[in-house]
Homo-oligomer: A and B are copies of this chain.
Amino acid sequence: MNLNPVTPAFLETLQSVLPDRCLRPADPRYLEEPRGRWKGQAGAIVAPDSTEQVAAVLKAANAARVPVVPYGGGTGLVGGQIMADGPAPLLLSLERMTKIRALYPEENVMVADAGAILQDIHEAALAADRLFPMSIAAKGSARIGGCLATNAGGVNVLRYGNTRDLALGLEAVLPDGRIWNGLTRLRKDNTGYDLRDLLIGSEGTLGVITAAALKLAPRPAGEGTALIVVDSPAAALTLLSLARDHMGEGVSAFELIHGTGLEFLAEKLPQLRQPFAEAPEWMVLIDVGLARGIDPATALENLFVAGLEAGLVSDGLIAQSQQQRQDFWEIREQIPEANRLVGSISSHDISLPLSTIADFITKGGDILRRMGDFRINCFGHLGDGNLHYNVFPAKGRQKSDYLDQRDAVQRAVHDLVDEFDGSFSAEHGVGRLKVADLERYGDPVKLQMMRSIKTAFDPNGILNPGAVLRA
């Protein structure tokens, strides 16, 4: 595509359609990303106040063939918000559009501007005695527009679905400035093609989401948490089945933890209390939220007993207080930090069909053992089939000792994932980091249709060029 960088003349055009307060200084924080892999560039940064201003900006950029990078909280892990090369783009930040537009507790619906911070959405829902269940580690800075654009996942997907499943309607601006008003609060509406789900997960390449109608959930009457030692990943999966037989949709989270995670915690974050005297090889962290008339701790005890009888579990702790629930979760949530401190050779956000996970873990271990001396920390959202399968140096060695093996490790893991009909990106998206993976592992017809859709929405290719699809 023939794109042009931001020029002084284009800046003048922007000034003619935007109030001065919407033009931001080129603060370097917009050009960094959490893992420090790339440095971005920007010819200008704008933060419109309104959907109409977003439309005016896109109309101008489309006329001038200037690339536009939509920007939410900047917390994406695959470089979707960072354009490192090509003509200097316009960075379009939603940071000034942060309103909760409306809340309908009786409908379990909230309508929010795309720039609203995820945590503010959580708090607004709680203030109405409701739950917005999608939650990720970056919730304090991630914006809902970015969560929608990337179809963010997190710990409650098992029960409540991905971000996609929590959106009823969207408002978005198309690359040429047309505004699509699809901000419906309806649960059922079969009137034409599903533009909503097409924009969700398109990572800012088809349109800029400016607002969303979000599903809320009632708060469960009682909640409980258990940390249970399981014999194997296969036993963990059977326990999950059992848990759902016992508690139905009441199982909110089902997280797998490996002993390597506890080992890393002991090594790098020794102040954190270890849950078991002797670190087990495999554990699951189970969170439940149940209806009235049933005590979560009792339900978890019953599950534990059933697991014992079925020979699946050998030890376990059931939280007796809110504090203990938080302590158990702290263990799970500090594992990524311990990983960061150890320093991974290669990290993978993969998903697999549930029934293949145990087999995958065995085969993955075998393959990596043949390739070298690694430690594997495999943990994550087991209930969704989503593993964070991260490969680390052997004890006493450094990440830098393995630089020449990094690509081979990544390739071996992704090849195996592909062999098992899994995904090389479960929840982080494609961004710019995984464009080549999508080309390698994606269905070729799907890629062709994605290109056709991109052309239909964005014939000049101005929106987030190079993300998802090669520019």
Contact = CB atoms under 8 A, between A and B. Distances in A.
Interface string A181-193: 1101111111111
Given A200-B194, A449-B457, A456-B456, A241 B184 contact: no
A30 B189 CA distance: 27
Interface string A103-134: 01111110000000000000000000000000
A157 interface: yes
A431 to B, nearest CB: 10
Contacts of A267: none
A423 B353 contact: no
A409 interface: no
A37 B384 CA distance: 45
A429 to B, nearest CB: 5
Interface in A149-207: 150-151, 153, 157-158, 162, 164-165, 174, 178-182, 184-195, 197-198, 200-202, 206
Interface magnitude class on chain A: 35 or more
Contacts of A429: 190-191
Given A165-B165, A291-B294, A426 B189 contact: yes
Contacts of A220: 248
A221 B151 CA distance: 32
Given A178-B445, A448-B178, A468 B192 contact: yes
The dominant DSSP class at the A interface is: mixed
A250 B298 CA distance: 19
B106 A354 contact: yes
Contact of A246 (B193, B291, B434): B291
Most chain B CB neighbours (cut-off 10 Å) among A150, A193, A452: A193
Nearest to A185: B353
Nearest to A106: B355
Contact of A443 (B182, B381, B424): B182
A413 interface: no
A430 interface: yes
A246 B189 CA distance: 28
B355 A193 contact: no
B423 A164 contact: no
28 contacts: A109-B353, A150-B190, A180-B443, A180-B445, A186-B353, A186-B421, A186-B423, A188-B381, A188-B385, A188-B423, A189-B426, A190-B423, A190-B427, A191-B438, A191-B441, A192-B438, A193-B202, A221-B245, A248-B249, A248-B289, A249-B249, A249-B250, A250-B291, A291-B294, A292-B299, A293-B294, A293-B299, A455-B456
Given A187-B354, A188-B351, A188-B385, 15 more contacts: A151-B190, A165-B165, A178-B445, A181-B443, A181-B445, A186-B352, A187-B385, A190-B428, A191-B423, A191-B434, A221-B245, A248-B289, A248-B290, A292-B299, A449-B457
| 9 nearest A-B residue pairs (beta carbon) | A197-B197, A452-B456, A189-B423, A107-B354, A188-B426, A249-B249, A185-B353, A180-B445, A187-B384
